[in-house]
Amino acid sequence: MSNEEGNDGITHEQYVIIGSVIASTFFVGFGGGVIFPILPNLGSVLGISPFFVGLILSANRFARLVANAPAGSIVDRVGTRTPFIAGLFIQAVGTSGYIVAYFSPVPEPWFLLTRILWGLGSALVFATAYTIAADVSKSGSRGTSMGLIRGGTIFGFPTGLVVGGVVSDVADGVIWNLPGDIVAFVVATMFALLAALLAYLFVPETHVEGEANSSVKPWEIDRSPTTLTVGLVNFTILFGYIGALFSTLVLFLNKRNLAVLGFGAQGSSGMFMAITVLGAAVFMLAGGYLSDHRKSRVPILLFFIGVASVGFLVLAIADSVPTLMLACVLIGSGQGGTSGPLVALLADLTPADQMGRASGTNNVLGDIGGGLGPLVSLPLIEAVGFTPIYAACALLPLTAGVILLVGIRYETGRLFPETDYIDVSTDSARDSPAD
């Protein structure tokens, strides 16, 4: 394979690596999305309380909360290839657990267990995927690379939303008289296994050369101001995005009697969430690309933070399919446009041998936000309704913007640090005798 560099400084071999990671994370992402349009309604059928439904939806994030930091340290210690493949396989096994849970006389612990297992696998996948992107890219192309890989990690999610919503609606009793929900779970499991196979065949080691770095301990985390700033922004954005939107949308459609293409609430919610995540994935790439071609990544981040805030305001007043679709596009675009440049900024300011731990810590804080969201939003919406909760969520992105500016000003001495300036100052810090 040729190692000739393109105009952006990335070799053809590196493009193949990025493409392989995107494909693997895309296929395994089905398992993350398939449960969302099914479980909220399935909860009433199986007798699962709204609180426990929220706990199940959040369980993977709470599992990642425990596993993210060790996963990042493992990446810095042993490399990216083995943890990446192992994480994908664990997610495939976790996805298959939905089938067991569905037929179990006591479904709650089985659903909870399979979501925990899925979360443990995804901790390894997320830590390795972002570290691979940092390893194979330079500052001038890092936003684009992060956007591509981060987009790949979630592009399977809307596919899972569609599979979970549409297949559960139309495949009921069609194949061997199986329930449509089971068909959706089986399809997601098959693609998750394909993801693990693709990674085994095509993803090489990018992070550790030769022997493992035994100086890195599995419990080490990154507590640098940059990582904490980026992680807190991630926390705030995902609290609203996953917690207040995804975990309540099917209930919102039922309440407002909104539907698309003749589907019920589950199928329609899958469509709307897919639109949201597709918008996020597109603007992860667009936001990353734009941040690569601006002097500073921060203005791009602030713009998309504002877009997400406007999206929640539109969601609060949505009473029709077009209005709801606009809200989903705005929220998804804002979250996605923030995500690519945000992880690129983290990579800009983090020494290469610490990127695994920085990714793990960032994921910890993001999962706290995504995990707390359903636990808070579902009971509150049941108590006070959708409109006030969605309106309050419009403040979350604005809070994230303030956190970003304060943290970056503290770390770099500038509100809008130029990427070239960051590269020079970071390199100087790495070469300092104090290190």
Number of domains present in the structure of the chain: 1
Tell me what pLDDT residue 430 has. 40
Determine, yes or no, domain membership for 212: no
- Residue 11: beta bridge partners? 5
* End-to-end CA, the chain: 37
Tell me what pLDDT residue 211 has. 53
Determine, yes or no, domain membership for 3: no
Give the three-state DSSP class for 11: strand
The CATH number that applies at residue 19 is 1.20.1250.20
Determine, yes or no, domain membership for 211: no
- What are the pLDDT tens digits along the chain (435 aa)? 444 444 455 566 667 777 788 888 888 877 777 776 777 666 666 777 777 777 887 788 778 778 877 887 888 778 888 899 999 999 989 888 888 888 888 888 888 898 899 889 988 888 888 787 777 766 666 677 777 777 666 667 767 767 777 777 776 666 677 777 788 788 888 888 888 888 888 887 776 665 555 444 545 666 788 888 988 998 988 888 877 788 788 888 888 888 777 777 777 877 888 788 788 878 887 887 888 878 888 899 999 999 999 999 999 888 888 998 999 999 999 988 888 888 888 878 877 777 777 877 787 788 788 778 878 888 888 888 888 988 988 998 999 999 999 988 888 888 887 766 555 444 444 444 333
Determine, yes or no, domain membership for 208: no
Tell me what pLDDT residue 385 has. 84
Tell me what pLDDT residue 342 has. 87
Determine, yes or no, domain membership for 7: no
Determine, yes or no, domain membership for 214: no
418 vs 421: CA distance, rounded Å: 5
Nearest of 327, 349, 339, 328 to residue 287 by alpha carbon: 339
User: Which helix or strand (DSSP H or E) is residue 308 part of?
Assistant: helix 298-317
Contacts of 82 (CB under 8 A, 6+ apart): none
Tell me what pLDDT residue 278 has. 80
Residue type for position 85: I
Domain hosting 183: range is 12-202+220-431
DSSP conformation letters of 226-295: HHHHHHHHHHHHHIIIIIIIITTHHHHHHHHT--STT--HHHHHHHHHHHHHHHHHHHHHHHHHHHHTSS
Tell me what pLDDT residue 425 has. 47
Determine, yes or no, domain membership for 207: no
Nearest of 300, 303, 308 to residue 332 by alpha carbon: 308
Determine, yes or no, domain membership for 160: yes
Could you tell me the CA-to-CA distances from 200 to 87, 137, 171 in Å, in that order?
11, 22, 32
